[in-house]
Amino acid sequence: MELLLETVALFCLKLAYEREGESPILREDPIMSDYEREVFGLLVRRGDIKGVQFRVAHCVDLAMEALGGTDTPLGRELYRLAVDFSYARTMAQLEEPLIALKDYLKDIQ
């Protein structure tokens, strides 16, 4: 799950900050420091669902802004998927909406 969380964060930050013609954002870039696999791993081991959701929501908010918010079709779909993720109440319930978020973010890169 930690890798999946890190991937979602990476795709969000790429949408928010990566510019055409510049070097791509990578997992080891400083911008990823709060969203590394180890950080998510600690939250998952603690069972801190709210902490995981908070970190993912922050990244999704940045991506949403880059997409033009809910006024755009891409932004509306991202918002819908983020809401599904926020409704999870257990770690097991996080996985399905997290996979949907990852797949969507990957598709719109």
| DSSP assignments along 33-90, one per residue | GGG-HHHHHHHHHHT-HHHHHHHHHHHHHHHHHHHTGGGSHHHHHHHHHHHHHHT--S
Return d(Cα 12, Cα 6) in angstroms, integer: 10
Q: Kindly state the average pLDDT of the residues 22-50.
A: 93
Q: Kindly state the average pLDDT of the residues 71-100.
A: 96
Instruction: Please name the residues in contact with 98: beta carbons below 8 A apart, sequence gap of 6 or more.
Output: 1, 4, 5, 8, 56, 85
pLDDT at residue 109, rounded to an integer: 86
What is the rounded average pLDDT for all residues in the chain? 95
